[in-house]
Amino acid sequence: MSNCIIAQSGGPTSVINSSVVGLLNANKELKTFEKVYGGLNGIEGILNKNIIDLSLISDEEINQFRFTPSSGLGSCRYKLKDIDSCSQEYENLINILREYDITTFFYVGGNDSMDTIAKLSKYAKLNNIDITFMGIPKTIDNDLKFTDHTPGFGSAAKFIGTTALETYLDASVYINNGIFILETMGRDTGWLAASACLAKLDNKPVVDFIYLPEVAFNKEKFIKDVKQKFKEQNKVYIIVSEGIRDQNGKFVSEFQCVSEDKFGHAQLGGVSNYLRMLILKEGFTNRVKALELGILQRCAMHCASDTDLKEAYNVGKMALKYASVGQTGKMVNINRECNEPYEVVYSVVDADKIANNVRYFPTEWINSEGNFVTDDAYSYFEPLIKDLPTLTFEGNLPKYKVFNQ
Amino acid sequence: MSNCIIAQSGGPTSVINSSVVGLLNANKELKTFEKVYGGLNGIEGILNKNIIDLSLISDEEINQFRFTPSSGLGSCRYKLKDIDSCSQEYENLINILREYDITTFFYVGGNDSMDTIAKLSKYAKLNNIDITFMGIPKTIDNDLKFTDHTPGFGSAAKFIGTTALETYLDASVYINNGIFILETMGRDTGWLAASACLAKLDNKPVVDFIYLPEVAFNKEKFIKDVKQKFKEQNKVYIIVSEGIRDQNGKFVSEFQCVSEDKFGHAQLGGVSNYLRMLILKEGFTNRVKALELGILQRCAMHCASDTDLKEAYNVGKMALKYASVGQTGKMVNINRECNEPYEVVYSVVDADKIANNVRYFPTEWINSEGNFVTDDAYSYFEPLIKDLPTLTFEGNLPKYKVFNQ
C-alpha cells in the first residue's frame, strides 16, 4: 500500500484544519493509503522535506487540531513556475514524493493552490508519472468558481454578522451617536462585506449601507446616501469591503487621505478611514469611527459556523474518496441541493477551471442603489452560518493544537 | 410603596444590562419598590423625562436584555456641575424624581458615574431630601478603586485572551511571519492589555511582550526587545495598550508618525501603528502588522465570561438590598474571598472615594524588564473569565434586545 500527503496553502481560515482531519479519518475507515503525511508550509516546505507522519498523532490531538483555526500544518504563498519555463521544481517535488512512496498529493487552498494542482497533474500526465493530485477548496473570500461556496466563508460570515450586530449596539448607546464604519476583507469580491446583512435587531437589519467591490464607488453618491440617512435617524452604520474601486477600477484604498485631526495630527488608514475622512470633510458630524476587522474575521474559531466546519471536514473526506477512484487534477465541489432543509452534495471540477478565475457577488443580489443586498442574498447566506462548534477549553480559553511550530 | 429608577452611564460593556436585570429580579422577589423605572441615556435622558417602566416588560424580553451587550437603556457622558456653582440641575432632577415618586436612584457606571452618585447624595443630605443614591460598578477598564475587579472586565479579558490566541495562530502560519502588534483599550491602566497573557498554546503564553501604561515607554528598549526576540524565533507577537506613555507622561499615541509605504502613501494610525513604524524603520523585517481591537473588546457578548455576567447580575441585586436598608452615596463593591474555589462577597464603599480616582495595574505584577506580567497576574485573571453564557439565537446569530431605540 502506498502513502499520500496533504498540505495547506494561502491565507488561513478557521476551518482549514477540519479538512485535513476529514481526510485522515476517511483513510482510517477506508484504508486507501498506509500513511497520511502532512507537508508543513505547503509546497515550500515539502520541497525542503518538512514532512510529518500524521498517522502517528494521537486521536486526542487530532481532535483538538480539527477545531483549531489557522493553517495548523503551516502555509505558503508559493506559485510553481510554468512547466515549459522551468521543470526542475517539478522534478524535485516528484522525487521527494517518490522517496516517501506517495501516490496522491492533496492541497487545501484557493485559486493559486488549484493552479498548483492543475500544473502538477498536467506535468504528471505529460511524463507518465503515476501520482494523482487533488484540490480541496478553502478561502474565506468565497470567490472560487463552480462550488456553491467555499469552506471558511461561513465562519467568517458568522463572525462578521455577529460583530456587526454587537458593534452596532455599542455604537448606538448615546443620544448623538454619529457614524460607524466597519471594514471587512475581500480584495476582489464582496461576499464577506455582504454577509453583514445578517446582523438583525428586532428582525430588521442593523446595517444601513454595504459597499462592495462589484459596484463602482462613487464619492458623491456615498456622501448623499450617508447625509440623508444621518438626517433621518441621527446615526449611520456602514459596512465597506477593503476592495472597493472607483469607476476606473482603481482601489479606493490607494487614494491619498492624509488630513488633520483636532490635535493637528495627520490621520490615515485603509478604506474605512478614507470614507471617514470623506464624511468629516462634509462637516455635518464630527463623530465618525472606523474599524478594520483585519485577520480576526478569518481565525475566530470561537464564533465559527458548525455547518462550515462539517463541510470542511466533508470536502477532506470526499477528496480521499475521489482520489481512491483515480481522479486527478480536480477540486472537490460543493453543490447546494436544497435550502430548506439545507442539503449539499459533492462532486469534482477541473482544477484548471478554478485557477486564476474569480466568482463575483451576483449583480442581481445588489439593490438598485448599489448600497445593499437583496433577499436572495439572505437565503444564500443563512444556512452557511448555522450552529456553533463544541470546543475543548483549557484555563477557560479554547485549547488549540497545531503542528507547524 | 414608592418607586426606584436605574440608568446607565459612560462606555458600554458586554454585561452592563445584567446589572439592571439583577436589580429588577431582586425587586420582584423582595418587593422593595412598586415600580422599577429605567432612565434612558443616563442623567441626560432623565433630565428630559426619557423614562420607561421596566416592570411592564415581558420576562422573555428581560431575559434577552440580560444577555445583550452595550448599554441597552442608552448611555451618556454627562457630568453634573459642582453643587456650589450650579444647583439648578440638581433641583430639576429631584423634581423629576419626585414627580415619578422615586425614592432611590441607581446608576451603573465607572468613576464619573460615582462622581454623580456622590454629588447627588451630598445634595440630598444638605437639603434634607429623602431620596437615596446608589452606584453599581461597571467598566471594562477595571480601574475602580477598592473593588477587587469591575463587572465588564472579565468579559473583555476573555475576548482579548481568545483573540490574542487566535490571531497569534493566524500570524504564525508562514515560514517567515514577521511581527504582529495587537492594540487594546486602556487609556490610563494596563489591566486589559495585561489580560492577553492568558492566551496559551501547549501551556505556554503566545504573547512575547506586553506594553502597559504603568511602565514608561522607552523606544530604544522596545527596539532592543523586539530585535532580539525576532532573531531568536523569527516572529514576535506584541500586545500594546493604547495608553502607553513616555517618561514625561506624554501619550505615545500623540506622536506624529507619518511615513511612507512602498506605494509612497502616508501611513498613520494609533499606538500599534506607531510601533509598527518604529520597527519598520530599523529595517530588519518588512513584515509588520498592527491591529486595533477597538470597541469589539467591550461588546463581544458572543465570547463573554459567564462569571462576569453573574457578578454583574449580583451587583445589581445587592444594590437593591443595600438601598432597601437606607444606604446612600455608596457603590457596591466586589471582594474576592478565595481563589480556589473562587468566591466573592459584596459590600459597599463611599462613592466619593471611587470618583476621580484610578486603580493601576500593580507594579509588583510586572516583570523586571517592564515588558510582561508575573504569575500573580494569572491567578488574579483566571477566575474572572470562567465559562460561557448560554445565549438565545435567531437566524443563527444571537438574539439581542435593547430599549433605547
Is B3-153+300-355+388-398's fold the same as B154-298's?
yes
Cβ-based contacts of A166 with chain B (< 8 Å): 69-70, 296, 299-302
Q: Using pLDDT thresholds of 50, 70 and 90, give the confidence band for residue A259.
A: very low
pLDDT digits (tens, 9 = 90+) for A291-301: 999 999 999 99
Best mutation target among B162, B166, B202 (most A Cβ atoms within 10 Å) is B166
Which stretch of A24-33, A108-117, B76-85 has the lowest confidence by average pLDDT?
B76-85
Q: Report pLDDT for A256.
A: 55
Q: Report pLDDT for A405.
A: 83
Q: Using pLDDT thresholds of 50, 70 and 90, give the confidence band for residue B253.
A: confident
SS3 for B193? helix
B39 marked among binding-site residues: no
Do A402 and B298 make contact, defined as CB atoms within 8 angstroms?
no
- The values of phi and psi at residue B393, to 5°, are -115, 155
% pLDDT > 90, chain A:
92
In this model, does residue B268 exceed pLDDT 90? no
Structure pTM? 0.96
Q: Report pLDDT for B381.
A: 98
| Catalytic residue ranges of B | 141
In this model, does residue B29 exceed pLDDT 70? yes
Region B114-135: what's the mean pLDDT? Answer: 97
Best mutation target among B40, B47, B140, B170 (most A Cβ atoms within 10 Å) is B170
Cβ-based contacts of B268 with chain A (< 8 Å): 258, 265-269
Q: Using pLDDT thresholds of 50, 70 and 90, give the confidence band for residue B84.
A: confident
Is the torsion defined by CA of A377, A378, A379, A382 positive or negative? positive
pLDDT digits (tens, 9 = 90+) for A342-352: 999 999 999 99
pLDDT digits (tens, 9 = 90+) for B69-78: 999 999 999 9
Q: Where are the domains of chain B?
A: 3-153+300-355+388-398, 154-298
Task: Output the CA–CA distances (angstroms, integers) from residue B395 to A149, A383, B185, in the order listed.
Answer: 19, 9, 31
* Set A82, A84, A130, A141: catalytic member: A141
Q: Using pLDDT thresholds of 50, 70 and 90, give the confidence band for residue A105.
A: very high
Question: How far is residue B27's CA from residue A133's CA, in Å, rounded to a whole number?
Answer: 67
Question: DSSP class of residue A70?
Answer: S
Region A82-111: what's the mean pLDDT? Answer: 95
Which stretch of A323-337, B68-82, B262-276 has the lowest confidence by average pLDDT?
B262-276
pLDDT digits (tens, 9 = 90+) for A123-144: 999 999 999 999 999 999 999 9
Do A172 and B405 make contact, defined as CB atoms within 8 angstroms?
yes
In this model, does residue B262 exceed pLDDT 60? no
Burial of B99 (0-12, 13-18, 19+ CB in 10 A): exposed
Cell readout for A323 is 482520489
Q: What is the 3-state secondary structure (H, E, C) of B278-336?
A: HHHHHCCCCCEEEEECCCHHHHCHHHCCHHHHHHHHHHHHHHHHHHHCCCCCEEEEEEE
pLDDT digits (tens, 9 = 90+) for A368-396: 999 999 999 999 999 999 999 999 999 89
Q: Could you give the count of Cα atoms lying within 13 Å of B114 in the half-sphere of its Cβ?
A: 26
Is the torsion defined by CA of B252, B256, B261, B263 positive or negative? positive
Q: Report pLDDT for A254.
A: 80
Give which of B115, B143, B300, B326 is closest to A168, Cα–Cα: B300
Domain range B154-298, CATH class: alpha beta
ipTM: 0.96
In this model, does residue B175 exceed pLDDT 90? yes
Region B246-260: what's the mean pLDDT? Answer: 75
Cα distance between the two ends of chain A? 30
Cβ-based contacts of B45 with chain A (< 8 Å): 175
Cβ-based contacts of A298 with chain B (< 8 Å): 170
Q: Shortest Cα distance from B255 to chain A (angstroms)?
A: 8
Question: DSSP class of residue B214?
Answer: T
Q: Report pLDDT for B139.
A: 97
Do A302 and B303 make contact, defined as CB atoms within 8 angstroms?
yes
Q: Report pLDDT for B267.
A: 42
Q: Report pLDDT for A267.
A: 42
Cβ-based contacts of B263 with chain A (< 8 Å): 254
Domain range A155-299, CATH class: alpha beta
Q: Report pLDDT for B86.
A: 84
Q: Shortest Cα distance from B152 to chain A (angstroms)?
A: 13
A242 marked among binding-site residues: yes
Do B296 and A291 make contact, defined as CB atoms within 8 angstroms?
yes
Out of 3.60.21.10, 3.30.470.20, 3.40.50.450, 1.10.10.10, which CATH number does the structure's domain B3-153+300-355+388-398 have?
A: 3.40.50.450
Q: Report pLDDT for A269.
A: 55
Q: Using pLDDT thresholds of 50, 70 and 90, give the confidence band for residue B256.
A: low
A139 marked among binding-site residues: yes
| A3-153+303-357+386-398 CATH fold | Rossmann fold (3.40.50)
Q: Report pLDDT for B269.
A: 56
